[in-house]
Amino acid sequence: MKLKTSLLLFLLIGIAVVEWGCNDDDTVGSNKYDVIGIRQTSINSTSTHNRLTSDTATWDSFYIKMSYQTIELAHNKLNSNSSILKALSLDSPEYIWRIDSIFIYDILHHPSDDIKDRIHIVSVKNGKIKSSPTNSGTLNWQIEDYWHVQHSFKLADQPLEETWHRYKFEIFGSDSTHFTAVSDSIYILK
């Protein structure tokens, strides 16, 4: 009986220590990020998802990937009073930046005409490519859905002629930010 009482007392003290170490105001929080620019653009293969090794491709065999540069505003914090291990939150990061509008130009052909209606936003999941019309709603959904901030774009239709193209992306954020990126030149085949 004395052993059972000692074990029960030890267990109650252990629960009290664990409860003391888990204050509600020091719980694990979510990561918060802001977008501060465009880090890089690359022209990738639709089959391998790697950078193209050539500057020539058929219109449906490549997409342009644009990665954003982010800064961390807040991150998960662990309770400083606790000596026990806590599981970190597996929630995706929260991005406070939102896209207000996007403009896409072919700067080698009609550099002042917005051609976003001829370019689709691409999502790559499990190696499969899905494309949909480019608009700010789709772009913002992708930022919230993925754990990293990037967008990929591909031609919606076959071009009228085989020629060189170079694309300029202008993105305006809801917080008055403005980012511009220019792709490498690519010779597009039919």
Amino acid present at 74: A
Q: Is residue 6 part of a domain?
A: no
Q: Which residue has the tokens 């509600």?
A: 24
Whether residue 183 is contained in a domain is answered as: yes
Q: Longest C-alpha distance within the chain, in Å? A: 91
CATH number of the domain enclosing 170: 2.60.40
pLDDT of the residue at 164: 97
pLDDT reported for residue 149: 74
Full residue range of the structural domain in which residue 31 is found: 27-74+92-189
Q: Where are the beta strands (DSSP E) in 27-182?
A: 32-45, 56-58, 62-74, 94-95, 99-106, 119-125, 128-133, 150-155, 163-165, 167-173, 178-182
**Residue 111, in any domain of the structure:** yes
User: For residue 56, is it within any domain?
Assistant: yes
Is 82 domain-assigned?
A: no
- Contact between 86 and 25 under an 8 Å Cβ cutoff? The reply is no
- When divided into structural domains, the chain yields a total of 1
- What is d(CA 87, CA 28) in angstroms, rounded to the nearest whole number? 9
Residues in the chain: 190
Q: Which residues of the chain have pLDDT under 50?
A: 23-28, 78-90, 147
Q: Is 170 within the bounds of a domain?
A: yes
Residue 37 lies in a domain: yes
Distance of CA 132 to the CA centre of its chain: 17
Q: Does 8 reside within a domain?
A: no
Q: pLDDT (tens digit, 9 = 90+) per residue, 11-63?
A: 556 665 555 555 444 444 557 777 888 889 999 999 988 999 999 999 999 99
